[in-house]
Structure formats: C-alpha cells, structure tokens
Chains A and B, each alone.
Chain A
Amino acid sequence: MAAQQGWSFRMTPIRKLLILLATICVGVSIFRLATGLGLVTNLNDEWPWGLWIGFDVLTGVALAGGGYFTAIIVHVLHRDQFHPIARGAMLTSLLGYLLVLAGLFLDVGQWFNFWRPFVSWGHTSVLFEVFWCISCYTTVQVLEFGEIFTERVGKKWHNAFKAAMPVLMIIGIIFPTLHQSSLGGLYLIAVHKLYPLWWSTLIPYFFLISSFFVGPAMICVESTLAGNAYNHKVPIEVLRGLGRIGGWFMLLYLVLKIYDLSNRGVWDLVFAGNLEGNLFLLEMILGVIVPIFIIFSGMSKSRSGLFIYGLLVSGGVVLNRMNVVFTGMSGTSGGSYFPSIWEWSVSIGLVSIGVLVYCFIVENFNILDHGDHHSA
C-alpha cells in the first residue's frame, strides 16, 4: 500500500526538459486544432497519413501491447512469478493508449466530429473495429487502473473495483486481440498500394503476433530503465521467462512470414537490393532473427542481454510499422512526404507527456513494489 502522505514529484534536469517538450507539444496542438492540418503538417493528397498515424497510432498501439500480454500471462494463466511486472506493464499500456487517442484526435480533420462513428455505423470498415475496440479498451484500462487509484484516493470504492477486475481483465484482452490485428487489417484494402513484401492477406495476423511478442520486449526495456531510475530490480529469471514466451511467438511469426513469402512467390523481392527489400531484411534480421538467437541462448542470462533483446524487438516492430506506413506505400504514392518540425514536436511531446505522467504515478501509487499482490 502506498503509505506516504502528500503528493510528490521529484524535479530533475531531464524532467525539466521533458516539461519543456510537453509544453511545446501542447502549444503546437492548440495551433493545429485552430488552423487545420495544412499549416502544421506536410501531409498532402499523395500522403494522407503521416507521422501521427504511423508513429503515434500504429506504433503506439503495438508498443502498448505489453498490457494485454501481461494480463494474459499473470491474470488469466495465473503465472504468479510474473507478478512483479504486472502493474508497471499495464500502466505503460494505459498511458500508451491515452497518447494514441490524443494523436488520433490531432490527426482527424473534423476533430469535433470524432464521436460520429459511435452513432453512424460504418461497420464494413476495418477502421470501425479499430475505433470501437480502442475506445472500449481504453475505458476498460482506466477502470482497471481504478483498482490502483482507489488504494489511495476514494478508498471506499476499492473493493468494488477489485471485485470487477476478473471481468475487466478478460474484456480487456478481447479488445486488443481484435484491434491489434485490425490495425494490420486496415491495409488489406490497400492491395494495389502497399508493397508486396508487406501486403498480404495475413497482415492482420502479423500485426497481432508482433504486438504480442513486443510486450515482453517492452517490459525488458521499461523495467531496465525503471530499475535504474527507481532502484527497483525485477529478477532476471522473471524477465527471461517472459522474453522466452515472446521468443516462441517470434518463431511462430518467422515461420508464418517464410510460409507467406513462399506462398505468394515474392522471395525475389526480398533480395532485390532496393530500399523496400533492404528495409524488409533489416526488419526481419535485426528485429526477429537476432533476438530469437539472443533469448534462447546464454546471452539472455544477463540484464544487458535482455535489454538489448528488448531494444531490438521493439525497434523491429517500430521499423515494421514504419515500413508499412511509409516505405511500403512510397512506391505508389507519387508525391513526397517528410514530417514537418511541428509534426515531430507533437510526437516527441506526446511521448514526453507519457514519461512524465508515468513518473508521477510510479512515485505516488503502488506500481513497482507489487510482487506480493495476490491476483484478483
């Protein structure tokens, strides 16, 4: 239980920088909402989706996959040895989704109309599924956080939240399973636009599996960083165990990729030596094959090995999403696009806000020292 009184927030030089970046982000966001997309972004008719959709939404949602990964392992399969990471991972995930919603809100042109799909059901659209699942899942995650929040504020509600947890957990796994795959499914309709190394009828499943195995990778990165900052060390065996679960799913991903490339007969494109082929190879070798080697070898017995594993896998998933949004679409788009300084500042600022809120919550709620919590 969080026993300290009063609210605390340590101020450090890095946090001052983050606050500066966050302030710039808020300023640019207000300017964008007031003036439209043309002045702030470099988006154009050839490139309707840019950095905010590619990084803030598609990548953000994937990296926030640690939440449902953890929920499955800890709260559904009751692998209690993984408890120490549960709250941290699910907090990161909640913050990730809130930032995704912020990014989406900034990217849509008629932002005051964002609620429209709740009443005007375009149910033939994959985006409809994404919209509903992300909205519902974020709500569920906020409710899940209620269990932690009421340990300190509004204590009389705590038992109610605790009782609701098993149901919330299960609903909170169904939604991400659906929308992680449908984020890939968005591109099914871009059959003539997305480069064949990435376009496949299996793309929803690639997105789903990769969002699942990026979960433990993000936990390895996050717990190393949090471990240094808060002197809270998650046992190596816990991280290694999680990483190995991820490793098996990476193997599945690799096998499915190889099957898919052979099935569609596009192996020649992999080794074509062009930008698409090379980036695809980079994504597969550094983001999948090398990490599989690390996690199933002795290298994963050290913290640095696990940290590198986490960075490679997360980086690989980021590269994959970027390849789908940018590299894979560039051949057919005709125009050119590079994010403006304002687009960068918003994306960087949103991440800064996430880090600051994470720090605040970790310092004021019972997140990291939670190994003894017994599951709901």
Chain B
Amino acid sequence: MAKGVLVDLTKCVGCGGCTVACKLWNDMKFDDNNPTVGDKAKLSGKNWTVVHAHQVKNKDGETVWRFNKQQCLHCLEPACASACFAKALQKTKDGPVIYYPHLCVGCRYCMIACPFNIPKYEWDKTFPLVSKCQMCSTKIARGEAPACVSVCPQGVFKFGERDELLKEAKAIIAKDDKYIKEIYGEKEVGGTSWMYISDIPFKDLGFKTGLGTTPLPTYSHNFLRYTPFVAVGWGIILTGLYHYTKRRNTISKETNIKG
C-alpha cells in the first residue's frame, strides 16, 4: 500500500534538523548560495528539502513564527512522471516518485509540468541532472521512514499508510479548534503522499493554493488519446483525396482535349 507522511505545522520549531538529515542520508553538498532554513531558504539542485520561516498573524491577531518544510509532495498522479518522455520519473507503488538519472535526456519538461515547482536542475554541471526529493525510497522499501521524518525532535511528522494518516488528520482537525479545517495534499491535483495540517491558512505559509482537484495528467491524456484515431483517420482521408483529385484532374484534361 502507498505510504505517506502527515506534517503537523503547529509543532514545527524550524530547527532544520530534517534538512541536515536529508543532506547526510542522500550525500548532498551544502549549497552556499541557498540556505536550507530561514526566510531565504530555497530548493535547489543541492537542496531537496528546506524549511521556510514565516512571520504571520494567528487567529487572535498575534504575530507568530510558523515554519513550512518544503520538499517533493509525491503526488498520487504525478504531473512530472506523466510529462517525462523517457520514463526518467516514475511513481512506485510504495508512494515515492523516483528519478532515474540514466534515462534522463535533460529536457526539463518535468519542471514545467510540476504544479509545486519542485524539480530543480544542476545548472552548473556539464551534464546536469534533475534533482528532487526521492522520499528516501530505499528506506521506505525496508519499511523505514524517510530520513527527515525519523530525526525530527518535535514529532512534527507521522509516517504510515496514506489512507490511515488521512483518517487521523481528519480526526485531529475535527477535535481541535486551533486547526484550520483543511488538509493540504488530501485532494490537491488529485492528492499527494505528503499531507499538511496547520493553524494558519496555507496560502500565508507560501503553499500553492487554488490548484484544483483534477490530476494534471488528465489534461494531457484527454488530448493524447485521440492521437491514433487522428493519425489513421487523417491518413485515410488524405489518401482518398489524393486519388480523387488526381482522377478529377485527369478527367478534366481529357475532356479539354476532346472538346
């Protein structure tokens, strides 16, 4: 069954331990130009996860700090994987959307396709690759939680079956008044493996909102499914027209000669 992670943003203190764990487990260099924690935190070819700091007003009008951990959301129907023309991005049945470098051509269509702007590119390399969170797929395959999840000192994350996490999240936000009544990732573009609950509207924390519930691959599919019919039908029409007009021209020439 598909795994997922539930993130409770009310518990995060912004320590950034998760971003360090990600670097260590995945053997990634620190990015001098882009920090992993703070208000200048930015995903990059070297940063698979970052923690954004936001100063916002809560329900009572008080100014508070909130932190938003950003990484690939591992969509249930990933736009990047459907956009990749060489199958370099694939969704596994465990949940992670994995990148296979040896298949990648470097067209960067996945970057255009992703509604969350997650895939990044190694612009400084001669043979650059796409770079994004893999949800520690090798750990998940062994039944372990992703590196970032396992090190959190605050208990921000819960790792498990997505379906069960969703039920749990619904129970939490129903019980406790401080939460906004919405689970980010439940339905966004068809649902994601990572889900968030929060006491501050997601829009104020830099989340992309208004994405709708339609999985993005649907749009391409609705167009592409006509391709075989158009190819064959158009071929038949053209062949017919070719012979018809050729014959018509021959007849009109013959008529002219006789007349």
Contacts and interface: CB of A to CB of B under 8 A. Distances in A.
Contacts of A254: none
B165 to A, nearest CB: 25
A166 B121 contact: no
Interface in B78-131: 79, 81-88, 103-109, 111-113, 115, 117, 120-129
Contact of A36 (B127, B227, B249): B127
Contacts of A114: 105
B249 to A, nearest CB: 5
Contacts of A116: 86, 103-105
Contacts of A110: 104-106, 127-129
Contacts of B104: 109-110, 113, 116
A38 interface: yes
Q: For chain B, which range describes its interface: under 10, 10 to 19, 20 to 34, or 35 or more residues? A: 35 or more
B241 A48 contact: no
Closest 8 CB pairs of A and B: A109-B106, A38-B123, A48-B108, A128-B85, A48-B111, A125-B85, A188-B219, A78-B245
Contact of B231 (A46, A76, A121, A174): A174
B208 interface: yes
A185 B126 contact: no
Interface string A28-52: 0000001111100001111011000
B220 interface: yes
B108 A109 contact: yes
Interface residues of A, number: 59
Contact of B105 (A117, A186, A191): A117
Nearest to A109: B106
Nearest to B250: A78
Contacts of B208: 192
A187 B105 CA distance: 19
B242 A49 contact: no
B113 A190 contact: yes
Contacts, number: 173
A188 B223 contact: yes
A44 B86 CA distance: 22
Contact of B224 (A38, A129, A166): A129
Residue among B125, B217, B224 with the highest chain A CB neighbour number at 10 A? B224
B103 A186 contact: no
Nearest to B240: A76
A38 B124 contact: yes
Interface of B: 43-45, 79, 81-88, 103-109, 111-113, 115, 117, 120-129, 208, 210-212, 216-217, 219-224, 227, 230-231, 234-235, 238-239, 241-242, 245-246, 248-249
A53 to B, nearest CB: 9
Given A45-B120, A78-B249, A189-B217, A129 B227 contact: yes
Residue among A126, A166, A201 with the highest chain B CB neighbour number at 10 A? A126
A263 interface: no
8 contacts: A48-B111, A78-B242, A122-B84, A170-B238, A185-B224, A187-B112, A192-B212, A204-B223
Nearest to A131: B85
Residue among A37, A44, A111 with the highest chain B CB neighbour number at 10 A? A37
Contacts of B239: 170
A170 B106 contact: no
Nearest to A104: B107
Contacts of A48: 108, 111-112, 121
B126 A35 contact: yes
A43 B120 CA distance: 12
A67 to B, nearest CB: 15
A127 interface: yes
A45 B249 contact: no
Contacts of A170: 235, 238-239, 242
Contacts of A169: 242
Contact of A108 (B45, B105, B126, B224): B105
Contacts of B120: 45
Interface in A106-144: 107-114, 116-117, 120-122, 124-129, 131
B238 A124 contact: no
